[in-house]
Amino acid sequence: MNDTSSTESGTSAALGRFLTLADTAEILNVSARQAYALVRSGELPAIKVGGHGHWRVERSVLESYIQAKYEEARRMSLWNQSEYASLPEYSFDSSRDQTRTNWI
């Protein structure tokens, strides 16, 4: 067994099943405010625990969220490479949608 895997598993055990928003923000490399916004919007599922309702994100949920974001990025990359990406009616560009609605 190498030192890297034992260190990673030791870190995982030390952090436990649930992460604080600060831990979540650190893992995602975003600010605590951005992590809170992800949770409040429902994009990142979390629970409130304790008398003061502190948010906690389950580690497995965070890992699933990260994997889903990778998949989303992969699909958008493939879409942007496709022949349909240049067609306005199939575009995900919101600025194009606004111009389309103005002349419909």
The domains of the chain, with CATH numbers, are 15-103 (1.10.1660.10)
Tell me, yes or no, if the pTM score tops 0.85.
no
Would you state the pLDDT for residue 18?
Answer: 95
pLDDT of residue 19: 96
pLDDT band at 1 (very low <50, low <70, confident <90, very high): very low
Residues ≥6 apart with Cβ < 8 Å to 20: 54, 55, 56, 57
Q: What is the pLDDT of residues 3-43, one digit of tens each?
A: 444 444 555 556 589 999 999 999 999 999 999 999 999 99
DSSP string, 37-77: HHHHHTSS--EEETTTTEEEEEHHHHHHHHHHHHHHHHHHH
